[in-house]
A and B are shown apart, each in its own frame.
Chain A
Amino acid sequence: MALQETDLGDLPLFAPTKKVYPQSVSGPYRRAKWLILGLCLGVYYLLPFLRWERGPNLPNQAVLADLANARFYFFFIEIWPQEVYYFTGLLIMAAFVLFLMNAVAGRVWCGYLCPQTVWTDLFLAVERFFEGDRRERIKLDEGPWTVSKAWRKSAKHFVWLMIAWWTGGAWVLYFADAPTLVRDLATFQASTTAYAFIAILTFTTYALAGIMREQVCNYMCPWPRIQAALTDDEALNVTYRYDRGDPRVSVKQAERLRKEGQPAGDCVDCRQCVAVCPTGIDIRDGAQLDCIQCGLCIDACDNVMEKISRPKGLIGYDTDDNVKRRIAGETPVYNPLRLRTMIYAALILVVGGAMVWQLATRRTVELSVLHDRSPLFVRLSDGSIRNAYTIRILNKRPDERPVALTVHGLPGIRIEAVGVAATADLRPVVSVAPDSSREVRVLVTLPPDVHPDKTQTITFTAADLFAGEMVTATDHFIAP
């Protein structure tokens, strides 16, 4: 490779940011992006207002993170703090879905679904509305300050701030009853925390989507680095087909060359793909970290190809393998069902299946038993041996439930709960308040004529007297 020597002096360590002025474009990928943008933002802004009837003592918001009461509600699912492993499961699934997306079609997450992309797209649309398209914006920025420029700039920033403010506002609505909170916010009666979070998210949305834009992807986001390790030769990526495009010549020159039977590429070097790129790169340089795979250059290039009557697809979603195949004169193929994609899909199914199974068999009453450590056992005056336990009973239902306790595993074994009355059949019945847990001290006594080995396993059963739901837990009975 040829190297040219240069002067030491012209190498800066820090450089001013080059502002990117993405040009508007139309085409199928742009349409897909608008559609996904509408869908994602629609869900984000409106979901807190969706109601879900849960009964008298529970909130009626479909999606709610009730931090004060440590409950998470997601439609018919209610999650307690000790069940946060559901979130772990969701995070694992999310990771595998990202891996799968990456193996099938590269960084489609970045180009279409990432919040940074979605909000930046929205902010760019606002910018275009007030300041015009690429050329007009460049001219406006380079030109002197006029009334028109000041008006356009301030209107843009005002609308940006309004969107950013409402983004923060929607965020806090997920943590409290939305209609009530909206009223409280409007009448300045909401908590300082709510206002602080709105302020923080207003600032981050405005700064990230309005000002930093592609720099978030290039400098702050770890995903481009991770995805570089996940992609392979068979993953689809936005690709400039240089075997078809090069050598780049003008339309007239290409006609002339083709007549003479000489090689001429389809790329006319119009730089439309560069003009529309939201990260300001030239896709013709090949796969690169800054490329978010949004496909807008594909739309731009296809529009040009149509005008100059050349086949579309000079830039397209393609695999590295196919690039090699075309150079070798073979037919390009794409196979989404590969070992890698199938393993990812299988892992998603396994984790998802485990979560669904866990959710389906989830109990609304739970029991945990803890044996007293000091003393391990007590001898009573009649010679009986007694062990004490701390039992916690969880009632996840919105009504009060009486729960009867029994114990099995040794002959003649008896159970009593301190401060709790027993039923006629000697089962202590513990009343547990709605949506809460109760701790009781439980004494288990073995009659004097039974002489067990040092340690025996016994089983505690908690039976809900109303619904008949039953849970068990095992622990040890310790004797001298």
Chain B
Amino acid sequence: MAQHQDHHEVDAHTGVSTTGHEWDGIRELNTPLPRWWLGIFYATIVWSVGYWVVYPAWPLITGATKGVIGYASRIEIAKDLALLQQHRATQSSGLAEASLEQIKADPSLFRIAMAQGKAAFGDNCAACHGVGGGGSKGYPNLNDDDWLWGGTLAEIHQTLQNGVRVAGNADSRISQMPAFGKDGVLKPAEIRAVANHVRELAGLPTEQGADLVKGRELFATNCAACHGDAGKGNKELGAPNLSDAISLYGMDMASLTETITNSRAGVMPAWGQRLDPTTVKALTIYVHSLGGGQ
């Protein structure tokens, strides 16, 4: 138990007086702190008063005192941001002047384009195409080697700039597959036959009892104009290659029936209307580098 005594004693062993505090028989010696230590403590108090005056400090009802030098962290942030924008503008000027091929060939421009492209992709494209451009059903995978509209730098740039099926944009990519079922061109049985033929083209097993001969005939009449006799597709028209291992909407019977009956009409915005030309360039470089670029 701590005890406090009003009288103080001198410890005979050390010759030092005690503070009068005692804990279970152990007495505390009084070892005074040096005076300069106290001086520093007072100095910090004086310093804090000065700080109150110079910097925003005292909370008021709707804010705080402004401080005589007018410092505010928001002003500092605004300065930093302005500096950043200026810095970015200098970097982007290189991208604006160079062609896509030049950017790709120049390591420093390429690095800037990749960084800008990655950021822009995350902001604008990732919602549909996925963070890494992996896509999903109806949204093309940008990492693979299969392109609806071509995978060269110029072709990617054109698609990005003008979008797909953007109303009122004459340069927009437009593929027009008829809705064979909805428009009454093909009957359900015929659609089934065509779907089975498409699976045959892709090397997938067909349904039991499927009329493959009829399917081939119907495909040649209705589909081959765009997709080709062997279903190899046509990039001019945005007609996908049906014979490869990749498909945008699925190659199972249900998906194929749906596609042939109602057609598909995916839309991508014309990014040239929304983003500045440098950003579109950077995006082109980035998408091209994902692994599918031709």
Residues of A participating in the B interface, judged by any CB pair closer than 8 Å: 1-8, 10-17, 215, 219, 285, 372-375, 378-383, 386, 388, 418-419, 441, 443, 448
Contact = CB atoms under 8 A, between A and B. Distances in A.
A375 B292 CA distance: 13
Nearest to A388: B291
Contact of B289 (A10, A375, A382, A418): A418
B17 interface: yes
Given A1-B12, A3-B12, A373 B132 contact: yes
Interface residues of B, number: 42
A451 to B, nearest CB: 13
Interface stretch (B75-83, B141-149, B180-188, B208-216): B141-149
Nearest to A212: B36
B19 A8 contact: no
Nearest to B292: A378
B82 to A, nearest CB: 23
Interface of B: 6-14, 17-20, 30, 32-38, 104, 110, 130-135, 141, 143-146, 241, 244-246, 289-291, 293
Contact of B144 (A15, A285, A380, A418): A380
A16 B141 CA distance: 78
A418 B146 contact: no
Contact of A7 (B8, B241, B245): B8
Contact of A17 (B10, B35, B245): B35
Contacts of B32: 12-15
Contacts of B241: 381
The 9 closest A-B pairs by CB, nearest first: A375-B134, A374-B132, A381-B244, A15-B32, A383-B245, A3-B9, A374-B131, A378-B143, A14-B38
Contact of B6 (A8, A380, A383, A386): A8
B231 to A, nearest CB: 12
A387 to B, nearest CB: 10
Given A4-B10, A14-B33, A379-B245, A374 B134 contact: yes
A381 B33 CA distance: 81
A382 B10 contact: no
Nearest to A285: B14
Contacts of A1: 11-13
Contacts of B110: 419
B33 A378 contact: no
Contacts of A380: 144-146, 245-246
A1, A14, A382, A383 — most chain B CB neighbours (10 Å): A14
Contact of A6 (B17, B34, B131, B133): B17
A15 B34 CA distance: 5
7 contacts: A3-B11, A3-B18, A378-B144, A381-B144, A381-B146, A381-B246, A382-B245
A379 B134 CA distance: 10
B33 to A, nearest CB: 5
Contact of B34 (A10, A215, A443): A215
Contacts of A12: 32
Contacts of B13: 1
Given A4-B12, A380-B246, 9 more contacts: A3-B18, A5-B7, A14-B33, A14-B34, A14-B38, A17-B35, A215-B34, A381-B244, A383-B244
A6 B9 contact: yes
A418 B35 contact: no
B19, B38, B110, B144 — most chain A CB neighbours (10 Å): B144
Contacts of B11: 1, 3
Nearest to A10: B17
A10 B32 CA distance: 12
B229 to A, nearest CB: 18
Contact of B8 (A11, A15, A215, A386): A11
Contacts of A373: 131-132
A441 B291 contact: yes
B18 to A, nearest CB: 8
A15 B47 CA distance: 23
B145 A8 contact: no
Contacts of A219: 34, 37
Contacts of A4: 9-10, 12
Contacts of B132: 372-375, 388
Contacts of A14: 32-35, 37-38
A1 B27 CA distance: 12
Given A15-B35, A418-B289, A381 B134 contact: no
B34 A418 contact: no
B167 to A, nearest CB: 31
Contacts of B7: 5-6, 8
Contact of A419 (B134, B143, B145, B289): B289
Given A381-B245, A388-B291, A441-B289, A5 B9 contact: yes
A372 B37 CA distance: 58
Nearest to A381: B244
A380 B6 CA distance: 90
Contacts of B19: 11
A375 B136 CA distance: 10
A113 B134 CA distance: 63
A265 B293 CA distance: 96
Nearest to B7: A5
A382 B246 CA distance: 8
A375 B141 contact: yes
Nearest to A18: B34
Contacts of B30: 11
B25 to A, nearest CB: 11
B9 A15 contact: no
Contacts of A6: 7-10, 17
Contact of B33 (A3, A15, A443): A15
A474 B241 CA distance: 36
Contacts of A17: 34-36
Contacts of B10: 3-4, 6
B141 to A, nearest CB: 6
Contacts of B20: 8
A108 to B, nearest CB: 26
B291 A379 contact: no
Contacts of A379: 144, 245-246
Contacts of A5: 7-9
Contacts of B8: 5-8, 11
Contacts of B289: 418-419, 441
A372 B142 CA distance: 14
A448 B245 contact: yes
A16 B12 contact: no
A10 B17 CA distance: 10
B224 to A, nearest CB: 20
B134 A378 contact: yes
A381 B248 CA distance: 12
Contacts of B33: 13-15
A441 B104 CA distance: 14
A215 B36 CA distance: 11
Contacts of A13: 32-33
Nearest to A372: B132
